[in-house]
Amino acid sequence: VFATIDEAGAAIDRLPDVPVTFMLAVPPVVEEPPTWPVDDIRALDAKRAGEFVARFTEGRLVTIASPHYMEPAVPNEIVAEIERVLGMVGPSSL
Question: In angstroms, rounded to a whole number, what is the distance separating the alpha carbons of residues 58 and 18?
Answer: 7
Compute the half-sphere exposure of residue 67: CA atoms within 13 Å on the CB side of its CA. 6
Residue 60: partners with Cβ closer than 8 Å, 6 or more residues away: 19, 20, 21, 22, 53
Q: Give pLDDT, residue 60.
A: 95
Residue 1 has pLDDT above 60, yes or no: no
Question: In angstroms, rounded to a whole number, what is the distance separating the alpha carbons of residues 67 and 70?
Answer: 6
In degrees and rounded to multiples of 5, residue 61 shows phi and psi of -105, 125
**What percent of the chain is predicted at pLDDT more than 90?**
43
Look up the pTM and report it.
0.73
